[in-house]
Amino acid sequence: MTDVATVRDLEVSLVRDGVRSDVLRGIDLSVRSGEILGMVGESGSGKSVLALAMMGLLPTSAQPRVGGTVGIGDTDMVNGRPDELRAVRRNELGVIFQDPMTSLNPTMRVGAQIDESTHDSAESLRLMTAVGIADAALRFTVYPHELSGGLRQRIMAAIAVAGRPSLIIADEPTTALDVTVQAQVLDLLRELRDEFGCSVVLITHDLAVAAQIADRVAVMYAGRIAELGPTEEIIHRPTHPYTVGLLRSRLSLDTPRDRRLLTLRPETASAAERLKGCAYHSRCPLAVEQCGVEQPPLAPAAEGTAEVSSTEHVRACWRSVSDVQGYTHDTLDAPPIAAAPSSGASDATQPAVLITGLTTVFTLKGGGRRRRQVHALRGIDLSVAAGEAVSIVGESGSGKSTLLRVIAGLAPATTGRVQLAGRGAQMVFQDAGSSLTPWLTVGDILRERLRPLKLDRAATARRIGDSLEAIGLPETVSTLRPAQLSGGQRQRVALTRATIIPPSVLLCDEPTSALDASLAASVLNLIRELRSSLDMTVLFVTHDLAVARLMGDRVVVMTQGTIVESGEADAVIRHPEHEYTRSLLASVPEIGVLS
């Protein structure tokens, strides 16, 4: 089988905030003709930088130092001339990015954007139909904002295959999508491979997503490949402790609701220590002295064991396969999580949130003078008891986030009423980075929130320090700005800001959808602990049904601005009554079922 891409001894260093960091360290990888290769790892593992190197698009502003080679066809994407790289990107590569709204031109009709690649409207229409867009002729003339997230990704896919590329790079194409649209996009990638004969590199932080369609999976950690092999073996017979940790920290519909979620250990090694030995050694429960002083090579996992059948399965670890797989099967339970306060559902007290007849209509302006009305919410009635946690699920455009924004007073209601008890509501957004003021330090952000209490300087400093400590951050974080924090740290700061003066109602709008499994687990643990310690009511919006079941006493299912099902969390997940809920559950990617 021929290779469409070969990466040999790739080293990439970038300068960030004046500090040079080694982002990729000795990557050796091949992408075979007609295969789907899943690249998995947590934020900062180097997945997206590897993709940029394969496209010849490393950021010049980060002053990259690059060693090794990346071969696409006969061209080295590291050392080739600019005109050669452009030719490869035009003729050999297709790209599908995470957010099509930032990749598509908002001022151009989607058909015109495909025409830029095909130079033939008839061929553009054929491609739109080929990637599964119904009524292609009608949608040819619309703008990107007039399409759903799934349809926008299909437009991106049509552009990606327009030049008949040999390789498509899909960088986190499903991260912010609900389960039904995610399933559509994964099916689409498989169909593109089957129909056009191209290879696909699927970058994701979710092993279950890769497991649905990938032929092989590469697990990356700290700029190196930790494990690489056939998908079924990586998922069911992992041989690296990091892969095991990712699998154990992933939520499923069967995750115990009364236990803390398992997470990876925090990083304690310095950058220099990570370079000297195995980068994972300070977080690894199986580490021995050799792990901290000597970097393990990528070697066949099948040597000396009958547990791994494929000679293509390789890993970088000093411990034996039997030791790692013994850890895989250990039966230690996660510790119990603090009991949540009584929801008070049977009490006669005033509910924390009472919504009656809520309707929200937005007027959108399309091309020319054409206007249309969109009913984001249609007559919502919802009562949430004090101390109760309610998860709100539904696909994109169902009205979930609009409902939270109306409750928070950030969006208008056309008709109806929202009544909040006690200290009102605070909101935690999906993208903590854009919700935190970039030019303020963490301390300044929290001081602004404390201003209504009129505390003196010493009391304010104590409150900030105590709040950061309670949320698992050192007090020194107060001197940093959001850009200097990791994604998980920014989300913790956003939670601190929302709860430093405890609200009666905490509104969470997809706060973990863009986080890798371990970071997401730590944030979910934190929200559950805060709910218990601060006696808060929680409304948690998510498109992940496993998260909804874990976080809510009750699950509310929305579609097209209405509530179609509501009930106790396990009852809704185990015995859904509405056809729409059943369709959502059928689309959930499960690790145990490989397509």
For the chain, the average pLDDT equals 86
Q: Would you call 1 helix, strand, or coil by DSSP?
A: coil
Q: Does pLDDT of 18 surpass 90? A: no
Among candidate residues 295, 297, 194, 280, the one with its CA nearest the CA of residue 245: 280
According to DSSP, residue 438 is labeled T
Q: Does pLDDT of 590 surpass 80? A: no
According to DSSP, residue 259 is labeled B
From residue 77, alpha-carbon distances to 68, 160, 203, 408 in Å are 10, 19, 19, 49
Residue 121: per-residue pLDDT = 94
Residue 344: per-residue pLDDT = 46
Q: Would you call 119 helix, strand, or coil by DSSP?
A: coil
Q: Does pLDDT of 357 surpass 50? A: yes
* Measured distance CA(136)–CA(147) in Å, rounded: 12
Q: Where are the domains of the chain?
A: 3-102+164-214, 241-333, 353-424+503-586
Q: Does pLDDT of 515 surpass 80? A: no
pTM reported for the whole predicted model: 0.83
What's the token pair of residue 286? 């199986």
| 353-424+503-586 matches 3-102+164-214 in CATH topology | yes
- Tell me the per-residue pLDDT of 530-587, one tens digit each, with 9 for 90 and over: 898 888 999 999 988 999 999 999 999 999 899 999 999 999 999 999 999 999 998 8
**C-alpha angle 385-387-391 in degrees, rounded to nearest 5:** 75
3 state SS for 22-62: EEEEEEEEEEECCCEEEEECCCCCCHHHHHHHHHCCCCHHH
What's the token pair of residue 364? 């959108």
321: exposed, middle or buried (C-beta count within 10 Å: 0-12, 13-18, 19+)?
Answer: buried
Domain spanning 3-102+164-214 has what CATH number? 3.40.50.300
The fold adopted by the segment(s) 353-424+503-586 is Rossmann fold (3.40.50)
Q: Specify whether the CB–CB gap between 39 and 23 falls below 8 A.
A: no
Paired strand residues for 539 = 390, 507
From residue 42, alpha-carbon distances to 190, 230, 376, 576 in Å are 24, 20, 34, 33
Phi, psi (rounded to 5 degrees) for 499 = -115, 0
Q: Specify whether the CB–CB gap between 103 and 97 falls below 8 A.
A: yes
- Tell me the per-residue pLDDT of 42-52, one tens digit each, with 9 for 90 and over: 877 889 899 99
What's the token pair of residue 464? 């900030």
Q: Does pLDDT of 387 surpass 50? A: yes
**C-alpha angle 29-32-37 in degrees, rounded to nearest 5:** 70
- Tell me the per-residue pLDDT of 470-480, one tens digit each, with 9 for 90 and over: 887 888 889 99
Task: Of 18-27, 142-151, 225-234, give the range with the top mean pLDDT.
Answer: 225-234
Residue 346: per-residue pLDDT = 41
Q: Specify whether the CB–CB gap between 519 and 488 falls below 8 A.
A: yes
According to DSSP, residue 511 is labeled T
Q: Would you call 561 helix, strand, or coil by DSSP?
A: coil
Q: Specify whether the CB–CB gap between 487 and 514 falls below 8 A.
A: yes
What's the token pair of residue 451? 């201003």
Q: Specify whether the CB–CB gap between 281 and 287 falls below 8 A.
A: yes
